[in-house]
């Protein structure tokens, strides 16, 4: 799995769609299937690593499989999976997922029963992810771990929520037309 994650973010990102992310944070078990991702590279103006290493993005320069968790807009935690060579500053942002286990816990954490994990901030809240998980190894940690699954058909689109390099088609989501409609 590490070998696979060592490829560049735009190569790894589409393959991550369909994988599971399991959390035991706070003693509750929650599992989701990744449905939407975005790739960010070091020479990417929209990437946090573009301006060099800093206190906030330090873990983005760690080895492949490292979790890079940051606070967005002062409110929302967002989870990235570091890819590429150590020190390169590449990562895949997890934007959306489908709850496959621990739905009760997720509803409790989110305070609502709809739109549980359809955004990076919501995804982290659902799994209980905060800055505490920044820098952990997603291939070995017991509280937050990636589980490899067969990749699913994806479609590529431009990234959203950013103001630079918006022309790069580095967002991937499950191709609903191939998987015969929403679950």
Partner DNA sequence: GAGCCGATATTCT
Partner DNA sequence: GAATATCGGCTCC
Contacts with DNA by CB under 7 A lie at: 38, 40, 46-49, 51, 54-57, 60, 68, 70-76, 78, 80, 91, 93, 110, 112, 115, 119-123, 125, 160-164
Shortest gap between Cβ of 54 and DNA (angstroms)? Answer: 3
Shortest gap between Cβ of 121 and DNA (angstroms)? Answer: 3
Shortest gap between Cβ of 62 and DNA (angstroms)? Answer: 13
Q: Which is nearer to DNA, 76 or 148 (CB)?
A: 76
Shortest gap between Cβ of 177 and DNA (angstroms)? Answer: 16
CA atoms within 13 A on the CB side of 61: 13
Q: Which is nearer to DNA, 115 or 142 (CB)?
A: 115
Quickly tell me which residue has 């009760």 as its tokens: 104
If residue 126 lies in a helix (H) or strand (E), which one and from where to where?
Answer: helix 120-127
Q: Which is nearer to DNA, 46 or 147 (CB)?
A: 46
Q: Which is nearer to DNA, 38 or 150 (CB)?
A: 38
Secondary structure, 3-state, 36-76:
EEEEECCCCCCCHHHHCCCCCCHHHHCCCCEEEEEEECCCE
Burial class, 134, CB count within 10 angstroms (exposed 0-12 / middle 13-18 / buried 19+): buried
- Write out the two tokens for 49: 């690593």
């Amino acid at each position: 799995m590490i070998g696979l994650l060592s490829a560049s973010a735009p190569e790894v990102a589409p393959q991550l769609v369909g994988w599971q992310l399991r959390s035991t944070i706070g003693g509750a078990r929650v599992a989701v299937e990744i449905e939407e991702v975005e790739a960010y590279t070091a020479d990417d103006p929209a990437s946090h690593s573009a301006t060099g290493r800093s206190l906030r993005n330090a873990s983005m320069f760690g080895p492949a499989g490292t979790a890079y968790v940051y606070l967005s807009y002062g409110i929302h935690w967002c989870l990235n999976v570091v890819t590429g060579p150590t020190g390169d500053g590449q990562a895949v942002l997890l934007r959306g997922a489908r709850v496959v286990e621990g739905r009760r816990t997720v509803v409790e954490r989110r305070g609502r029963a709809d739109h549980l994990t359809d955004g990076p901030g919501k995804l982290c809240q659902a799994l209980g992810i905060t800055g505490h998980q920044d820098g952990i190894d997603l291939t070995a940690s017991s509280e937050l771990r990636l589980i490899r699954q067969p990749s699913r058909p994806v479609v590529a689109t431009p990234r959203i929520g950013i103001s630079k390099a918006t022309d790069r088609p580095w967002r991937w989501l499950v191709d609903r037309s191939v998987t015969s409609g929403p679950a």
